[in-house]
Amino acid sequence: MQPRPDGEPMTKRDIPIDIRGLHDAYARGLDPVEVVERAFDAIGETGDPGIFISLVDRSVVRKAVQKLGPFDQAAKPLWGVPFAVKDNIDVAGMATTAACPAFAYTPKADADAVERLIAAGAIPIGKTNLDQFATGLAGVRTPYPIPKNAIDATIVPGGSSSGSAVAVARGLVPFALGTDTAGSGRVPAGLNNIVGLKPSVGSVSTRGVVPACATLDCVSVFAGTVDDAWAVYEIMAGWDEDDPFSRPIVLGTLHPAPPLPAIGIPRPKDQNFFGDEAARAAWRASLDILQDRFGAKLVEIDMTPFFDTAALLYEGPWVAERYAAIRTFIETRAGDMHPVTRQIVDKAKAFSAADAFGSIYRLAELRRMTERVWHGISMLAVPTAPCAPTLDEVADDPLGPNSRLGTYTNFVNLLDLAALSVPGPFRKDRRAAGLTFIGPRGSDAVLASFGRAFHAATAAIIGATSRPLPKPAELPSVAPEGFLELAVVGAHLSSMALNHEIKALGGVLLRAVNTEPCYELYVLPGGPPLRPGLVRVAAGKGHAIATEVWALPAAGFGRFVAGIPAPLGVGTLQLADGTRPKGFLCEAEAVRGARNVSSFGSWRAFIAAQA
């Protein structure tokens, strides 16, 4: 073993369980063979036979490690990082069971996501347990032993990605793959005090994944930190021409969490904790942190269209889609299925093609209704799990508690949204709790950038381990590659009337910063609506005006600028942080006789004063 940073000898207990820490140790000479040996030893020591369905032979893993070559984080950003794979995702040469032994097959090729991770230097060590055919949110519908919740063994582990979540929460691997159709990549994270990243639908290929609902399925990531989850996501994401459900996406990068003037939350009547007062109290504690620590304005949202969307998931086309995914098997080997799984999937027989189209039309209506929500908020925050059912409760009622766990998750993929589950303050009964941040497709980087800051403010340890949560890496507050910075001062500011135009073009909020004191802000003649005009004056002779700097994809930037009407234009702004982004400016001639509102310091403050 190589020495620790303090010079003391490193033991197996000292081996980091986060990617950045592990790579720091590798740079000091830690042998990756020792890392994978620690992982296998730890698996054996947990006393939980339900986490893994199968393990890679140790000798095979050692050979894979030896083929990595010298440590090179630049060439292989996941060099030497062991990981686990939910057993509905293919790993070449290992049986894929989907938690149904009679269904098992042995693939010759890795799933696309697994292939990308291995190419980046990650080392798969085993396949994890799940609710059979990824149908369930409690994590108990399996013919194998049920994985034990890492925080409290009396409650469910969460599903369907139960084994993957517990493996990370116990520190067995730095990250694990799950899948998410209705919340399977979020609920287990919330119940086990870890991060669950559910990507935008189609951003990660599902080729090589046993489908639940192929039009909705996502390969998700469980990790101890948001930084680790994002590092994995960046590598997995990408167009796959061989996957008919793959969709292009501009991923963006993590950036320092910007101010979030408005975060949506369910209105009081839509905050349902099903009598679990400890869950309600933890939710309120998280809201206090959003307000007190981050200064967020909480906007109450009518969740009715979201809940109506969630109700569609087990009606019509999407139950039929689950049936279609395993049609041959269920029609010939139904007796080999878990009885609850079979009961749910069999519901598909009650729906007609006309029912399916009716549900599709209804979903289109609900998508349009919910689109309006994003115009006024930066993201939506909801409880990840509104309750923590015990194993006994689920044994007595296999459907009720499971359904309640999906209250704030079932609608996300149907509405084509991105989501990130992050631990929050523990409940008073010491069970895990947390928030899920939700945003439109393509907002993954925005959610992760804020989520990592929230996680750092609320969590002390990773999962159920005693390992302290590492401090997030320092990030530059600059536009990602392929993006251009644009400073806005008026109605395009966050939560204001035209902000949705920037979001629709893929805009990412980077930072809020004042101009240097060399500008004057005017109300342009005409209207309504009121329009601002920012005019440059001599240095030190003007005011510092509040701006927000957004990053836009190059194509989106071009479309945005092309639509700016005279007398407004785009020039280079001088900001107080020393940066010089492009931004709105106004022709001086246009403000002759106009009202000067520079003393308000911002267009937002001026508009508020008019209310």
Which member of 162, 164, 184, 205 is catalytic? 184
pLDDT surpasses 70 at 443:
yes
Report the range out of 91-95, 289-293, 568-572 with the highest average pLDDT.
91-95
What is the pLDDT, as a whole number, of residue 506? 82
Measured at the CA of 565, the angle between CA 562 and CA 566, to 5 degrees, comes to: 125
Which member of 160, 162, 359, 494 is catalytic? 160
Could you tell me whether strands 82-86 and 123-128 are parallel, antiparallel, or unpaired per DSSP bridges? parallel
Which domains are delineated in the chain? Answer: 12-458 (3.90.1300.10), 483-610 (3.10.490.10)
Residue in 203, 72, 49 with CA at minimum distance from that of residue 126: 49
Measured at the CA of 507, the angle between CA 503 and CA 509, to 5 degrees, comes to: 105
Active site residue 162: no
What is the pLDDT, as a whole number, of residue 13? 77
Residue in 168, 588, 131, 559 with CA at minimum distance from that of residue 344: 131
Signed CA dihedral, 196, 200, 204, 208: sign only: positive
Distance CA 184, CA 611 (A): 44
pLDDT band (50, 70, 90) for residue 393: very high
Residue in 461, 464, 436, 460 with CA at minimum distance from that of residue 450: 436
Active site residue 421: no
- Count Cβ atoms within 10 A of the Cβ of residue 7 and give its class: 0-12 exposed, 13-18 middle, 19 or more buried: exposed
3-state SS, residue 578: coil
Host H or E run for residue 488: strand 483-488
Spatial contact of 344 and 319, defined as CB atoms under 8 Å apart: yes
Residue in 155, 166, 64 with CA at minimum distance from that of residue 117: 64
Which member of 76, 86, 127, 503 is catalytic? 86
| Residue appearing with tokens 């909705």 | 216
Distance CA 66, CA 62 (A): 6
Residues in the chain: 611
Specify the DSSP class assigned to residue 349: G
Specify the DSSP class assigned to residue 98: T
308 vs 551, which has greater pLDDT? 308
What is the pLDDT, as a whole number, of residue 10? 60
Q: 254-273: string of b/e by CB count within 10 Å (b at 16+)?
A: bbbbbebbbbbbbeeebbbb
Spatial contact of 317 and 359, defined as CB atoms under 8 Å apart: yes
Cα dihedral value 348, 349, 353, 354, nearest 10: -90
pLDDT band (50, 70, 90) for residue 213: very high
Tell me the average pLDDT across 384-408.
Answer: 97
- Count Cβ atoms within 10 A of the Cβ of residue 361 and give its class: 0-12 exposed, 13-18 middle, 19 or more buried: exposed
328-344 pLDDT, tens digit per residue, is: 999 999 999 999 999 99
Q: CA neighbours within 13 Å on the CB side: how many for 485?
A: 21
**Helix 444-458, helix 277-292: angle, nearest 10:** 100
Question: What are the percentages of helix, strand and coil residues in the chain, rounded to 5?
Answer: 35, 20, 45
Tell me the average pLDDT across 179-198.
Answer: 98
211 vs 494, which has greater pLDDT? 211
What is the pLDDT, as a whole number, of residue 152? 98
Active site residue 160: yes
Host H or E run for residue 299: strand 298-301
Q: What tokens does 520 get?
A: 């004057």
| Residue appearing with tokens 């989106």 | 556
Distance CA 346, CA 23 (A): 48
Q: What tokens does 416 get?
A: 């084509």
222-249 pLDDT, tens digit per residue, is: 999 999 999 999 999 999 999 999 999 8
Spatial contact of 191 and 149, defined as CB atoms under 8 Å apart: yes
Around Cβ 112, how many Cβ atoms within 10 Å? 23
List phi, psi (to 5°) of 249: -155, 145
pLDDT band (50, 70, 90) for residue 39: very high
Specify the DSSP class assigned to residue 108: S
Assess whether the previous peptide bond of 160 is cis (omega < 30° from 0): yes
What is the pLDDT, as a whole number, of residue 8? 58
pLDDT surpasses 90 at 282:
yes
Measured at the CA of 104, the angle between CA 101 and CA 107, to 5 degrees, comes to: 155
pLDDT, the chain, mean: 93
pLDDT surpasses 70 at 257:
no
pLDDT surpasses 90 at 578:
no
Distance CA 363, CA 357 (A): 10
Contacts of 5 (CB under 8 A, 6+ apart): 24, 28
Contacts of 588 (CB under 8 A, 6+ apart): 535
Host H or E run for residue 235: helix 226-236
Around Cβ 436, how many Cβ atoms within 10 Å? 27
6-28 pLDDT, tens digit per residue, is: 555 566 778 999 999 999 999 99
Tell me how far the alpha carbon of residue 175 is from its chain's centroid: 14
List phi, psi (to 5°) of 597: -115, 25
**Helix 226-236, helix 19-27: angle, nearest 10:** 90
